[in-house]
Amino acid sequence: MGMGMRVSLRLAVWVASLLPAPALAGAWTLPQGTGQVIVSGFWAEAMEAFDGGGQVEAIPLFQKAEIHLYAEYGLTDGVTAILRTEAKTYASGEAPSLDAARFGLSGGGARLLLWEGDGAVLSAEITGRVATPFDRRARSEERGGEVEALLFAGKGFGVGRWSGFAEIQGGYRLGLDGRSDAFRADLTLGIRPRAQWLLLAQSFNTLAVDHPDAGFAEPTEHKLQLSAVYDVNRHLSLQVGGLATLAGRDALQERALVTAVWLRF
C-alpha cells in the first residue's frame, strides 16, 4: 500500500474530530433565564494531507458534511448550562467501504463566570461527551468519549464607531475509552462595523498528545475560520463563512464552507 493510500485511510477514520464548533458564546455567560440554540453546518473536502512530519502530500478526494447542534441556557447570571450533539456523513474516493452517515459525540456541561469587570471577563468551562449508541457498526474512533476543561478570557473594546471583542481560550481534552488526549488553544476576534453585522476571525489549534492506550491518534492541526453573522432580529441570526487548515500533522488540508442559524430566547 502506497504512502498516499495509508495516509488517506488513516485520515478517513479521524473525521469525527476534524471540525471545530462555530463561534459560540465564548467567555461570556448568559443572563439568567435566557438561552440560545445554534445549528451549524460544515461542507468540506480535501485532496491533500499533512503527514506525520507536517509535509503536504496528495490524497484521493475526501469529502464530508456535518451538522452540529449547540444549546446553552443561563441557570444564573454566572452559570450557563451547555448541550451539544452532532451528525455527519463522509465519503472517500479511495475507500468507499468507509462511506457512512453517523451520529457523533453528544453531551454537555457548564460554563462558570470567575471574574468580570471593565468590559473584561474570565470564565471556566467543563464539558463531557460520549458516543451515541445508535450505530453498532461505529468504528473505534466513534466510540468512547471525552472530557474537556477550558479557561476563557475575553475583552470588549471600541474602534471609533465600531465595537468589538477579543477572546482566548485554552485547555485540555481528556480522551476516554481509547480516544487520544489533546491540548486546545483558540483565538477569536469579533468586530461589529454596523449594528446588524458581526465579522469574526478565528484560529482553532489542537495539539495531539500521544497515548499508548489510544485506539487511534488525534491530528495536530491549525485552522483559520473567517465568517460574518447577520442579525435578522433580536431572536434570529445567520452566519456564513469559510474554514481552512493551514498546518498540521496527520491531518487533512481541508477547505470548508461554514453556515449556522442562531436562535435566541
Residue whose C-alpha is closest to residue 23's, from 247, 265, 191, 173: 191
Q: In the 8-state DSSP scheme, what is residue 54? A: S
Residue whose C-alpha is closest to residue 80's, from 135, 150, 133: 150
Specify the amino acid at residue 95.
Answer: A
CATH classification number, 3-264, choose in 3.50.50.60, 3.30.70.360, 3.30.950.10, 2.40.160.40: 2.40.160.40
The alpha carbon of 198 is separated from its chain's Cα centroid by a whole number of angstroms, namely 19
Return per-residue pLDDT of the chain as tens, 265 residues: 344 444 443 443 333 233 333 344 589 999 999 999 999 999 999 999 999 889 999 998 988 899 999 999 999 999 999 999 998 887 776 655 455 667 788 999 999 999 999 999 999 999 999 987 654 445 555 567 899 999 999 999 998 899 999 999 999 999 887 778 999 999 999 999 999 999 999 999 999 887 655 555 678 999 999 999 999 999 999 999 999 999 999 899 999 999 999 999 9
Residue whose C-alpha is closest to residue 200's, from 26, 5, 10: 26
83, 152, 168, 203 from 28: Cα distances, Å: 16, 9, 12, 18
User: Given this model, what pLDDT does residue 11 score?
Assistant: 40
Rounded to whole angstroms, how far apart are CA atoms 207 and 222? Answer: 9
State the pTM of this model: 0.85
